[in-house]
Amino acid sequence: MFPFEVLNSEASAANLLEQVRWRDGLYCPHCRSESVIKHGSYRVYQRYLCKDCDRTFNPKTGTIFAHAKIGLDKLLFAFYAFLRFNTSIHQLDAELTVSYRSLRRRVERSGELLDAPAIDLVGPVEIDEVYVTAGLKGRERDRESRSRGLSTRGRGSYAEDKPPVFTLVDRGSGQRYVVPAKSADESTVRLLLGDCEEESLTVYTDGFRAYDPLEDDENYQRETVIHGEGEYVDGDAHVNTCESHASLARRWLSPHRGVSKDKLTPYLRAFQLRRRILRKPGRDALKEIVRTVL
Residue ranges that bind Zn ion, judged by CB under 5 A: 28, 30-31, 33, 50, 52-53
Give the nearest distance from C-beta 52 to Zn ion in angstroms.
Answer: 5
Give the nearest distance from C-beta 21 to Zn ion in angstroms.
Answer: 15
Give the nearest distance from C-beta 16 to Zn ion in angstroms.
Answer: 24
Contacts of 140 by beta carbon, 8 Å cutoff, 6+ apart: none
Of the two residues 14 and 50, which places its CB atom closer to Zn ion in the complex? 50
The half-sphere exposure of 194 on its side-chain side, counting CA atoms within 13 A, is: 17
Give the nearest distance from C-beta 50 to Zn ion in angstroms.
Answer: 3
Q: Are 270 and 110 in contact (CB under 8 A)?
A: yes
Nearest to 4 by CA among 243, 274, 288, 281: 281
Of the two residues 55 and 171, which places its CB atom closer to Zn ion in the complex? 55
Measured CA distances, 194 to 12, 44, 219, 220 (Å): 44, 48, 10, 11
Of the two residues 55 and 283, which places its CB atom closer to Zn ion in the complex? 55
Give the nearest distance from C-beta 23 to Zn ion in angstroms.
Answer: 19
Of the two residues 52 and 284, which places its CB atom closer to Zn ion in the complex? 52
Of the two residues 61 and 167, which places its CB atom closer to Zn ion in the complex? 61
Give the nearest distance from C-beta 32 to Zn ion in angstroms.
Answer: 7
15-41 as b/e: b if 16+ CB within 10 A: bbbbebbeeeebbbbeeeeeebeeeee
Q: What value does the CA radius of gyration of the chain take, rounded to a whole number of Å?
A: 22
Of the two residues 52 and 112, which places its CB atom closer to Zn ion in the complex? 52
Give the nearest distance from C-beta 94 to Zn ion in angstroms.
Answer: 41
Of the two residues 61 and 260, which places its CB atom closer to Zn ion in the complex? 61
The half-sphere exposure of 13 on its side-chain side, counting CA atoms within 13 A, is: 22
Measure the CA angle with vertex 119, ends 159 and 22; round to 5°.
Answer: 105
Distance, CA of 69 to CA of 103 (rounded, Å): 9
Of the two residues 31 and 226, which places its CB atom closer to Zn ion in the complex? 31
Report the sign of the C-alpha dihedral through residues 166, 169, 170, 176, in that order.
positive
Q: Are 87 and 81 in contact (CB under 8 A)?
A: yes
Give the nearest distance from C-beta 60 to Zn ion in angstroms.
Answer: 16
